Amino acid sequence: MSDWEVVIGMEVHVQPTTKSKMFCGCGIAPLNAPPNTYTCEVCLGMPGVLPVINKAAVEACLKTALALNCEIPRHTKFDRKNYMYPDLPKGYQISQYDLPMSINGFLEVGGHKVRIRRVHLEEDTGKLIHAGDKLHKAWESYVDLNRAGVPLMEIVSEPDLRSADEARDYAMELRTLLRTVGASEADMEKGQLRAEPNISIRRRGAIEFGVKTELKNINSFRALHRAILYEVNRQQQVLESGDAVVQETRGWSEQEERTFPQRSKEFAEDYRYFPEPDLPPLELDRAWIEELRRGLPDLPSVRRARLLNDLPAGQVAVIAADRELADLYESAVAKGAPTVATANWIVNEVAPTGKLPSPENLAELMKLLQGGAITRDSGREVYLESVETGRTPAEIVAEHGYRQVSDESELRVIAEAVIDANPKAAADYRAGKKQAMQALMADLRKRVPHANPKVANELLLKLLA
Amino acid sequence: MTDDLTQLTIKDAQRLLRLGSISAADLVTAHVERIERLDRHVKAYLRFTPELWEKQAEEADRRIRQGEAGPLTGIPLAVKDVLCVRGVETTAGSQILRGFKPPYTGTAVGRLFDAGAVMLGVTNCDEFAMGSSTENSSYFATRNPWDLERVPGGSSGGSAAAVAAGEAIVALGTDTGGSIRQPAALCGVVGMKPTYGRVSRYGLIAFASSLDQIGPFARCVDDAAITLSLMSGLDPLDSTSSDRPGLEVLNNYDRGVKGMRLGVPREYYDVDGIEPGVKAAIDAALFILRNAGAEIVDVSLPHTDYGLAAYYIIAPAECSSNLARFDGVRYGLSEVDAPNITEEYMRTRRKGFGTEVRRRVMLGTYALSSGYYDAYYLKAQKVRTLIKRDFDAAFKECDAIVSATSPTVAFPIGSKTQDPLSMYLCDVLTLGGNLAGLPGISVPCGTSDGLPVGLQVLAPQWGENVALRVARAYEEASDIKAEVASVV
């Protein structure tokens, strides 16, 4: 429709799953922790303190890098990025500049490769809380350093994305990958995954990139999508009216559904990067890297391809996006559960409730259902109780008498009694009112809750014929 | 009698303590009395720590009674104002940290406390250890105990003067370009800078992280050696600390110099501005070492001339970053009435930092700036590599390097304060050891015009025992012992 081409590169900050901060022993504060309670002399930037690298953060970064098909160079180091701001206790952020932990990878999204420029480690800053209203004099700012020093991985893509859809899909695929390898919980709402798209547009066929803007404050995949759509449209209007796009950082306002200028890059800060003298260069043990590579679980793209052999695409999309669901599915099937029925159960019962049964119990449940031993309604009860108590479905079925009654001679007696007890409904049915069957079935279920609905229905039809 | 207790070495003091002739409390009292009498002249100390010394002396006496005395039990210790001690005001000689009491004790000090040392107080120094005379302290200038009109050297001038004046048996300093060795030489005591990584820097208020090391001052080589060994060794809180055992600094260090090859770098021997009296004292020292069985050989450190320039790029560059945390937000001086945060930073730092600190922060910021980084910082790092190679080559021809520690003896107070460059030249013979990360020691080697001269011994990386061995052999053969200055 338009003769503009959208070009997007993504910078994604991800908080790896670690017990402690990047360079000290402080724990990771939960979202509601009182300010400055997860701090020590190191992350407060007291005089005389020194950083020590968190190995778990390095491991998470390496796993991510390996899963993104990155090269892990032999030498890597940390650098200081110098700037003064009250949320940055040391006056510099420890990051990685010219020798990042990994480079040159790719992530497959929707069948094509998005190139990854680098994945590196750094530390988060603290948070400023501004009090007071818009009156300049009433302003007060408070510093909360709970987040200062929390580890962050920065994943930088090449400008290979061409639409808001692709950018969102990339971020979602990244989240799945991070969860699959266990590197991060990657929950956007909790700030564990922060996506910052760099957006520019150019005339279709042009070789040069246009001037880009970078978007911040994006808290969900939906916001990411909408912010990009808004920004592309804005840039288009600017260019079509003959103006020039200004290179700048823009914020996304969720309330107003628009982007607004935050910081112009014209007065770019000079960060005076130099090698962090308090941390010796890292020579990563190649054997450790190989061990991590071997230990990586199946990546989502591999798993997705495998699941597509047995399942329709709709089910695969749900199951492959979540490592736990996919693991559950494959383990249950390995224990003899039927493929499609199990996938259905996972999509309709497990995914919405988040209640994960053991693969053994799920396989047993699916076999009970498939063999007609219990009804689907009973199956749901059994499933919930089994997840709650850990007991096996067979035990629960036996205890509650959930076993389905499918015996025709047994049910025939009941069916006859139902017809006798509901002469009006029987007459209505015979007169052609098909809905009357519902009342008869309801009465039958009242008398025998675990009657096999199919057998019962057939019996009633036969008797009424 | 009490003054005699302030002349003791660690070994003598320990013997008297164990014999029960004196108590740790007596030792403290003797030092406190001497400090009360002399320190108003010398001004070595910034502040005293009576709560600590009372508690620590009591604990020392208890341990001695129970036969659990450690190697430093009861030994009076002075600590430079850049080493954090929990609850003790620590300010790096600066107004910007006035009132700051660290919530933790640094590793080196903590290890000496564990070994039984008794802390008497905090000693004066150049602000953030930037200087060679202790005149850059924001509080007052410390005086040389041998001549109160002269400087004690710096930046650890307070610690050197305290030991020289009998106001402590041992003291801790830090050495970034010579800040232990040079004041040791000027005050006539022993001072040692270890190999970079030997002693944890955790708790040392950083000046230049890749150069800073903590080391001891003492009145004899043995005392310096034992003190150093006790604070050495791996610290999980400092990633640049080595896992080599601390005790290795003592390996064979009492074996004498017979058969050792000692290199005299011609660039050091004939360094610009070396005073004839200093040169004569060094010549005499070389003669004594040769007589003791050492072979004296000529060596060369051809890039010496570039060392000073490289040092004054790298050290300010690192300091410009290290000192960024002093922003008035969390601790220390804070000019809160500023209209905005940038103005608050500027007012706090303008008021809190002295001239020399501001000069180096600006030099370093400039050297790291985009467009200048390659020409300054990167080039300085290349020079640093060349200087390391110079030492590597020299140590193929000798076991240790000997030279003067300082080209001059103690100079009059105020004589160099108007000329930063002449002050920078004080470090010309010592900063190579920091750039190359090598261990170095300064021992007293006589006097020139009645003022102490220091002999510097530099050894290969991790060769503290070699430096100590030469220094100890010299001390023994020369019969020159660090004396306690009578001051007045």
Query: Does residue B291 or residue A407 have the better pLDDT?
Result: B291
pLDDT value at A356 more than 80: yes
Which residue range is the domain that position B34 belongs to?
2-254
B234 CB near a chain A CB, below 8 Å? no
Q: Are A82 and B324 in contact (CB < 8 Å)?
A: yes
Check CB contact of B382 with chain A, cutoff 8 Å: no
| Touching B: A residues 136-175, CB under 8 Å | 141, 143
Note every long-range contact of A259-267, with CB atoms under 8 Å and residues 24 or more positions apart, other chains counting. A259/A213, A259/A215, A259/A227, A259/A230, A259/A231, A259/A234, A262/A216
Asked if the model's pLDDT at residue B162 lies above 70, the reply is yes
Interatomic CA distance for residues B280 and A203, integer angstroms:
80
How large is the average pLDDT for residues A250-272? Answer: 82
B370 in contact with A, Cβ within 8 Å: yes
**Residues in contact with A305: Cβ distance below 8 Å, sequence separation at least 6, in sequence order:** none
The yes-or-no verdict on residue A209 having pLDDT over 50 is yes
Contacts of B323 in chain A (CB under 8 A): 91
CATH of the domain at B173: 3.90.1300.10
Angle at A437 between CA A433 and CA A439, to 5 degrees: 110
Are B329 and A86 in contact (CB < 8 Å)? yes
Contacts of B424 (CB under 8 A, 6+ apart): B132, B308, B312
Active site residue B481: no
Residue A101 has pLDDT above 60, yes or no: yes
CA-to-CA distance for A183 and A59, rounded, in angstroms?
Answer: 8
Q: Which pLDDT value is given to residue A417?
A: 84
In degrees and rounded to multiples of 5, residue B312 shows phi and psi of -80, 5
A78 interfaces chain B, CB cutoff of 8 Å: no
* Whether the predicted pLDDT of B486 surpasses 90: no
Q: Is residue B349 in some structural domain? A: no
Nearest CA in chain A to B328: A86
Question: Which strands make up the sheet holding B400-404, listed edge to edge?
Answer: B45-48, B118-123, B76-80, B170-175, B213-218, B190-193, B440-448, B451-458, B400-404, B261-265, B295-299
| pLDDT confidence tier of residue A397, bands split at 50, 70 and 90 | confident
Chain B positions touching A272 (Cβ under 8 A) are: 320-321, 365, 368-370, 373
Helix (H, G, I), strand (E, B), or coil: what is residue A315? helix
Per-residue pLDDT reduced to its tens digit, B406-438: 999 999 999 999 998 899 999 999 999 999 999
Q: Reduced to 3 states, what is the DSSP secondary structure of residue A33? A: coil
- The beta-carbon neighbor of B102 closest among A45, A46, A143 is A46
- In angstroms, the Cα distances linking B203 to B63, B106, B370 are 27, 4, 31
Q: How many domains does chain B have?
A: 1
Distance separating alpha carbons of residues B93 and B136, to the nearest angstrom:
8
Q: Is A47 within 8 Å of B317 when comparing Cβ atoms? A: no
| Beta-bridge partner residues of B402 | B457
Residue type at A291 in one-letter notation: E
Residue B297 contacts residue B264 (beta carbons within 8 Å):
yes
Structure tokens, A292: 């991590």
Question: Which DSSP category does A218 fall into?
Answer: -
Q: Does a cis peptide bond (omega within 30 degrees of 0) precede residue B155?
A: yes
How do residues A135-172 score in pLDDT, each as one tens digit?
455 467 889 999 999 999 999 999 999 999 999 999 99
Q: Tell me which of B80, B159, B229, B241 is the catalytic residue.
A: B80
**Does residue B487 belong to any structural domain of this protein?**
no
In the prediction, which pLDDT does B337 show? 87
A103-112, pLDDT tens digit by residue? 999 999 988 9
Q: Which of these, B385, B463, B403, B464, lies nearest to B210 by C-alpha position?
A: B385
Using the predicted structure, report yes or no on whether residue A329 has a pLDDT greater than 60. yes
Whether residue B291 is contained in a domain is answered as: no
Please name the residue of chain B whose CA is at the shortest distance from the CA of residue A282.
B239
Nearest to A64 by CA among A201, A175, A146, A151: A175
* Residue B378 in contact with partner chain A when CB distance is under 8 A: no
pLDDT tens by residue, A170-205: 999 999 999 999 999 999 989 999 999 999 999 999
Q: What is the pLDDT of residues A56-92, one digit of tens each?
A: 999 999 999 999 999 999 999 999 999 999 999 999 9
Answer yes or no: do B240 and A279 touch at CB < 8 A.
Answer: yes
Confidence of residue A268 (pLDDT cuts 50, 70, 90): low
Residue B160 lies in a domain: yes
**Contact with chain A for residue B437, Cβ under 8 A:** no
Do A274 and B377 make contact, defined as CB atoms within 8 angstroms? yes
Q: What is the pLDDT of residue A135?
A: 42
DSSP secondary structure string for all residues of A177-192 = HHHHTTS----TTTTS
Packing angle of the helix pair A164-180, A221-240 (nearest 10 deg): 150
Give yes or no for a contact between B127 and B356, defined as CB atoms under 8 angstroms apart: yes
Of B413, B420, B309, the residue nearest B355 (C-alpha): B420
Instruction: For chains A and B, count residue pairs whose Cβ atoms are closer than 8 Å.
Output: 103
Phi, then psi, of B463 in degrees rounded to 5:
-100, 40
Residue A404 has pLDDT above 90, yes or no: no
| pLDDT bucket at A264, cuts 50 / 70 / 90 | low
**A273 to chain B nearest CA, in Å?**
7
Under a CB-based contact definition with an 8 Å cutoff, are residues B323 and B358 in contact? Answer: no
- φ, ψ for residue A180, nearest 5 deg: -60, -45
Mean pLDDT over B47-68 rounds to 97
Has residue B54 been placed in a domain?
yes
Query: Which chain A residues are Cβ-neighbours of B377 within 8 angstroms?
Result: 274
Please report the domains of chain A, with CATH numbers, ordered by start residue.
4-287 (no CATH), 298-400 (no CATH), 408-464 (1.10.10)
Query: How many whole angstroms from its chain centre is CA A219?
Result: 13
Q: What is the pTM of this model?
A: 0.87
Q: For A137, which DSSP code?
A: G
Q: Is A86 on the interface with B (CB under 8 A)?
A: yes
Q: How far is B232 from chain A (nearest CA, A)?
A: 17
Residues B173 and B227: beta-carbon distance below 8 Å: no
Is the pLDDT reported for residue A233 higher than 60? yes
Q: How confident is the model at residue B340 (pLDDT cuts 50, 70, 90)?
A: confident
pLDDT at A254: 87
- Examine residue B292 and state whether it is found in any structural domain, yes or no: no
Listed residue (B220, B196, B107) closest to B464, CA to CA: B196
The DSSP output letter for A225 is: H
Q: What is the phi-psi region of residue B292: left when phi exceeds 0, alpha when psi lies from -120 to 50, beta otherwise?
A: alpha
Token pair, residue A164, equals: 């808001």
pLDDT above 80: residue B167 = yes
Tell whether the model's pLDDT for residue A47 goes beyond 90. Answer: yes
Contact (CB, 8 A) for A39 and A126: no
Do B102 and A91 lie within an 8 Å CB cutoff? no
Q: pLDDT-derived band of residue A134, with 50, 70 and 90 as boundaries?
A: low
SS3 A60: helix
Among candidate residues A290, A172, A31, A279, the one with its CA nearest the CA of residue B241:
A279
| CB–CB contact A47 B83 (8 Å) | no
Here the tokens at position B370 are 């985009």
Decide if B21 is inside a domain: yes
The pLDDT value given to residue B1:
45
B169 falls in which pLDDT band (50, 70, 90)? very high
- How many Å lie between the alpha carbon of B200 and the closest alpha carbon of chain A? 10
Kindly identify which residue of chain A lies nearest to residue B344, measuring between CA atoms: A86
SS3 track for B321-373? HHHHHCCCCCCCCCCCCCCCHHHHHHHHHHHHCCHHHHHHHHHHHHHHCCCCC
Chain A residue with CA closest to B329: the answer is A86
Looking at chain B, which residue has its C-alpha nearest residue A137? B339
Confidence of residue B311 (pLDDT cuts 50, 70, 90): very high
Q: B121-156 burial by CB neighbour count: b if 16+ within 10 A, else e?
A: bbbbbbbbbbbbbbbbbbbebbbbbbbeebbbbbbb
pLDDT averaged over chain A? 91
Interface test with A, best of B125, B329, B343, B384 (most A CBs within 10 A): B329
Question: Which token pair is B95?
Answer: 């107004």
Q: What is the distance in angstroms between the Cα of A95 and the nearest Cα belonging to chain B?
A: 14
pLDDT confidence band for A265 (50 / 70 / 90) = low
Q: Is residue B203 part of a domain?
A: yes
**Percent of chain B, pLDDT > 70?**
99
Mean pLDDT, residues B143-169 taken together: 98
Give the span between the Cα atoms of B435 and B196, in whole angstroms: 9
**Which residues in chain B are contacts of A92 at CB distance < 8 A?**
321, 324
- Encode chain B in three state secondary structure: CHHHHHCCCHHHHHHHHHHCCCCHHHHHHHHHHHHHHHHHHHCCEEEECHHHHHHHHHHHHHHHHCCCCCCCCCCEEEEECCECECCECCCCCCHHHCCCCCCCCCHHHHHHHHCCCEEEEEECCCHHHCCCCCCCCCCCCCCECCECCECCCCCCHHHHHHHHCCCCCEEEEEECCCCCHHHHHHHCCEEEECCCCCECCCCECCCCCCCCEEEEEECCHHHHHHHHHHHECCCCCCCCCCCCCHHHHHCCCCCCCCCCEEEEEHHHHCCCCCCHHHHHHHHHHHHHHHHCCCEEEEECCCCHHHHHHHHHHHHHHHHHHHHHHCCCCCCCCCCCCCCCHHHHHHHHHHHHCCHHHHHHHHHHHHHHCCCCCHHHHHHHHHHHHHHHHHHHHHCCCCCEEEEECCCCCCCECCCCCCCHHHHHHHHCCCHHHHHCCCCEEEEEEEEECCEEEEEEEECCCCCHHHHHHHHHHHHHHHCCCCCCCCCC
Q: Please answer yes or no on whether A46 and B104 come within 8 Å at the CB atom.
A: yes
Q: Which of chain A's residues have a Cβ under 8 Å away from the Cβ of B329? A: 86, 89, 143
Is B80 in the active site?
yes
pLDDT of residue A267: 58
Question: What are the pLDDT digits (tens) for A286-309?
Answer: 999 999 999 998 888 888 889 999
SS3 string of A367-378? HHHHCCCCCHHH
DSSP-assigned states of every residue in A384-449: HHHHHH---HHHHHHHHT---B--HHHHHHHHHHHHHH-HHHHHHHHTT-TTHHHHHHHHHHHH-T
HSE of A223 in the Cβ direction (CA atoms, 13 Å)? 20
CA-based nearest residue in chain B for residue A47: B205
Give the chain B residue nearest A54 (alpha carbons).
Answer: B239
Catalytic, B403? Answer no
User: CB B368 to CB A48 under 8 A?
Assistant: no
Coil, helix or strand at residue A121: strand
**Distance (Å) from the alpha carbon of A298 to chain B's nearest alpha carbon:** 35
State whether A48 and B365 contact (CB < 8 Å): no
| Identity at A264, one-letter amino acid code | S
A274 touches chain B (CB under 8 A): yes
pLDDT digits (tens, 9 = 90+) for B88-129: 999 999 999 999 999 999 999 999 999 999 999 999 999 999
Token pair belonging to B35: 């400090």
Angle formed by the axes of helices A408-421 and A436-447, nearest 10°:
120
